Amino acid sequence: MPNRNNWVRRVERLMHSFANQYSSVYSKKEREISASFEIGCFISLVNFYENRRYTVTIENLKNNEFKYLTTPSGNPENFSFVKLEFNNKVFEIRQQIRIKSHLAEDTNFTPDIVVLKRDPELEGIYDTDYYQGRRQMFYVTSDQVIAAHECKSLPPFPELLISFLGMVIAGHDWIKNLNDRSMVTDNGLHLAPTLFVGGSARHLHLRMVESLKNTLPINIIVGMHYHHWDIANSMELTLIDDPY
């Protein structure tokens, strides 16, 4: 067993060298760290569709860049998105689009990533309770949502998993009740509504994840920090047909 003090000195020396060489790479603002995880999930989702032989095109580039919508207050028409085509069916992957829920009036929320029907109606209205009526509030209705996905760079604690279920029921008009797995199929076109979680799970929580996934039309993918982002090939996923 190595001398204790020598080991500590080795750690200090190696970390000092690491910091000297790479601090410019990892010293980011907190906003960029959280954005990094969301971008990773987004890339992983696009890879999923590419692996399933969709034709994937990047649309509405700005200055040859993908302009990523980072807040629901932006006009989606001014931002880039991903178009998916398969067997004459067309869908879109967008980010930070507010969903107007079918559950109740004035019920809106914004998932991180959403897969929508072809040519979705992205509406904008003026509301006196929104920026005092000075800006449009953009949204898409829940009957245009194929799947809303959420990204959390956190450990998968139970309350996180349960709160995601609220998003599922509020954001998908085609899900009439949470036990409705009528759209779930082995050869489904789409990834079911998915919670991407960065942290790994304790065994007890893994059982909860597995149980929810087998009961409801959803995915909960944990351990994204080490899954190498190959969600299409590395595990069993809940897939759904086109609900529309």
Residues engaged in binding other proteins (CB under 8 A): 1-2, 4, 7-8, 10-12, 14-16, 18-19, 21-37, 39-41, 43-44, 46-47, 50, 56-58, 61-62, 64-68, 70, 82, 153, 155, 198-200, 202, 223-226, 229
Within 10 Å of residue 29's Cβ, how many Cβ atoms? Answer: 8
Closer residue to other proteins (CB): 188 or 223:
223
The encoded tokens of residue 4 equal 């204790």
Closer residue to other proteins (CB): 28 or 176:
28
Exposed/middle/buried for 113, CB within 10 Å: 0-12, 13-18, 19+? buried
- Residue 73 CB, shortest distance to other proteins, in Å, is 12
Closer residue to other proteins (CB): 141 or 153:
153
Within 10 Å of residue 27's Cβ, how many Cβ atoms? Answer: 9
- Residue 212 CB, shortest distance to other proteins, in Å, is 19
- Residue 204 CB, shortest distance to other proteins, in Å, is 11
The encoded tokens of residue 150 equal 């959420």
Q: Are 110 and 96 in contact (CB under 8 A)?
A: yes
- Residue 47 CB, shortest distance to other proteins, in Å, is 6
The encoded tokens of residue 184 equal 């779930």
What is the Cα–Cα distance from 179 to 144, expressed in whole angstroms? Answer: 20
Closer residue to other proteins (CB): 152 or 172:
152
Closer residue to other proteins (CB): 29 or 134:
29
- Residue 71 CB, shortest distance to other proteins, in Å, is 9
Pairing of β 123-126 and β 145-152: unpaired
Closer residue to other proteins (CB): 179 or 233:
233
Within 10 Å of residue 200's Cβ, how many Cβ atoms? Answer: 15
- Residue 51 CB, shortest distance to other proteins, in Å, is 9
What is the Cα–Cα distance from 186 to 217, expressed in whole angstroms? Answer: 12
> Rg (Cα) of the chain, in Å, rounded?
20
